[in-house]
Amino acid sequence: MKFTLGFLISLFFALIGAMRAGEAPRTFGLNAEGLVAARARLAAGDERLAPSLDLLRAEADRLIKLQPASVMDKTRTAASGDKHDYFSFAPYWWPDPKKSDGLPYIRDDGRVNPDSKRGTDSGAFSRTCNAVETLGLTYWFTRDERYAQKAATLTRTWFLDVATRMNPSLEYAQAIPGINNGRGIGILEARHLCNLVDGLALIAGSPAWSAADSTAMTGWLTAYYEWVTTSKNGREEAAAENNHGSWYDVQVVALALNLGRVADAKQIVTQATTKRIQRQIEPDGRQPLELARTKSLDYSCFNLEALVRLARLGESVGVDLWKFSTSDGRNLRAALRLVAPYADPAKKWPKEDIKVTNRTRILPLLVEALRHGLDASLSAPLAQHLGPAASGEYWRFVWDGKL
């Protein structure tokens, strides 16, 4: 059989395209190989993933209509006077009823002051970052350019366009009226950058996200990375011993990996064995610093979400946090075994928290642990309480369904 030169050239480029389509995206929070496998399963007609894809597409279709947000939208301004500076208020702080001007504010742990959410950047920032991840995932699975274009527009508006870009720092995050203009704790609000950078990795092959866009975003992330790792606020958050410290590590490691600073990432993950797991988790699995909170189950899950994600990031630098354990049994699996039974919404949590926790948050933690070894104490509650797919449960795409 003879082939023309034109046919052979076309075949060559078709093969190159197929190879590229099968390449794993440069994601670190989302399991890249799992995403490749999920796309292949969907292409092969695997009906188990169809409900998740339907929900994902529905959410992305809603986000297509989202008005791009920026730091310029807020009605309040940081102490710097520059609206390009990110600004937010500490959510658990309230006016002192004994003072005519309410100053200085006083803390009421766990009770969110609704005024802290008005006219600030926190809500819009998290929505933007999470929207880019959702749109990126939808583009990855569908190759519908509309989703990539929207993700790119949202990113450019918040981070890159001169008129609307955010300055790369959180110097004025979680300010407390009468006490400070911002604090290290506010860096927690930038954890959503981890979702954003994964979303951008998923649209990297789209013409909607150009090489110039990628270079400009790398410049922004580099400037922010320098600030968060060297500033007074950054050093304070790095030293935090509770969930704030855990999420700081997640944020910095994710950014370091995206910026190619592998040695930085490996050092932080390695230090987390003693700095986070050993200090935060008791041999029986309790997390005392989170249990001390008024929303103790919520914060126990929140810290575990950080540690489990940090373990995922550690896979990229050859550090296995799942294997770490102290001689007296302080390890990730112990903490998960403690919360696993409470995946049952009917099981009473030992403390009287001021807010009911969404117990489905426990399930993806169990799934991730089971990727690293069978454990009946984790697989049994997962099997018992696993319901149908829900919106936002992206972990289902990279889970093989095995218990």
Structural domain spans, the chain: 33-239, 245-403
What sign for the dihedral angle of Cα 348, 351, 352, 354?
negative
Which token pair is 142? 């569908």
CA distance 367 to 379: 8
Fold equal for 33-239 and 245-403: yes
pLDDT band at 19 (very low <50, low <70, confident <90, very high): very low
pLDDT recorded at residue 399: 87
pLDDT band at 23 (very low <50, low <70, confident <90, very high): confident
**pLDDT of 289-343, one tens digit each?**
999 999 999 999 999 999 999 999 999 999 999 999 999 999 999 999 999 999 9
pLDDT recorded at residue 43: 94
Q: What pTM did the predictor assign?
A: 0.93
**Which phi and psi angles does 249 have, rounded to 5°?**
-60, -45
**Which phi and psi angles does 356 have, rounded to 5°?**
-75, 135
Which token pair is 297? 């189950």
CA distance 139 to 206: 9
Q: Is 221 within 8 Å of 165 (Cβ atoms)?
A: no
CA distances from 350 to 235, 302, 336, 338, 360 (A): 35, 17, 16, 11, 18
pLDDT recorded at residue 5: 46
DSSP-assigned beta bridge partners for residue 65: none
CA distance 305 to 124: 22
Helices 296-314 and 362-370 sit at what angle, rounded to 10 degrees? 30
- Show Cβ contacts of residue 40 under 8 Å, excluding neighbours closer than 6 positions: 22
pLDDT recorded at residue 22: 54
CA distance 37 to 62: 26
Q: Is 210 within 8 Å of 125 (Cβ atoms)?
A: no
Residue 39, H or E segment: helix 32-43
Tell me yes or no: is domain 33-239 CATH 3.30.70.2860.
no
The CATH number of 245-403, from 1.50.10.100, 2.40.128.50, 3.90.1150.10, 3.90.1300.10, is 1.50.10.100
Is 60 exceeded by the pLDDT of residue 14? no
